[in-house]
Amino acid sequence: MKKTVPARLLVVLVSALFALSLPLPALAHSPQSIEVSYDYKAQTLNVKITHTSNNPDRHFIKEVEVKKNGQVVQRGVYAKQAGDTFAYTYKVAATGADNFEITAFCSIHGSKTVKFSPGV
């Protein structure tokens, strides 16, 4: 059975549209870095995130989850990010024996998790 020119054109067009839809997740990425510190006096966990974006209206850190000793104690949900490097502060009581796990989630694709212990 011989394919006609319109049928071949349709196959090429559908294939091209499919191929063009694939790179979007490739443009998204997880945060490059997460830096964490703890202020005992203020009882706050300070989280500094670096996540570059050419389109911060669509591609941003949408959520930050803070676990203390394996339990979620804070969850921040955001609609945008303020620049490529930004910081959030979470009010959390802690001792030197506590262990934190902080995860930042990209709005399109990927996440990054770091572990932190405030120490003594």
d(CA 37, CA 48): 9
The whole model's pTM is what?
A: 0.75
Rg, the chain, Cα only: 21
28-116: CATH architecture: Sandwich (2.60)
Six token digits for residue 5? 């020119």
Span 37-76, pLDDT tens digits: 999 999 999 999 999 988 888 899 999 999 999 999 999 9
Q: Is 97 helix (H, G, I), strand (E, B) or coil?
A: coil
Span 41-50, pLDDT tens digits: 999 999 999 9
Q: 26 has which bridge partners?
A: none
Confidence of residue 20 (pLDDT cuts 50, 70, 90): very low
Backbone angles phi, psi at 60, to 5 degrees: -155, 175
d(CA 68, CA 6): 61
Half-sphere exposure of residue 88, counting CA atoms within 13 Å on the CB side?
A: 23
